[in-house]
Amino acid sequence: MRHRNLVHRDIKPQNLLLKPAPPQELARGHPLGVPILKVADFGFARSLPNAMMAETLCGSPYVLSLVLVAINS
């Protein structure tokens, strides 16, 4: 996502999916028993070039960092 300048802005456990590695991945050297991580729900995502900083507060309120809550209160 970084090489495409894409910021997800709603990373939480519900948006992280684990998929068993298919035989092709195992043949290429993927460790046996280690699932493949997939990121889901790009509803809050946006393009953000390296020189910019995201200023909009968005995402799921119940998983917000306490630091963000304190800064924006």
What residues act catalytically? 10
Find out whether 15 and 41 touch, Cβ atoms under 8 Å.
yes
Find out whether 17 and 36 touch, Cβ atoms under 8 Å.
no
Cα atoms in the Cβ-side hemisphere of radius 13 Å centred on 69: 7
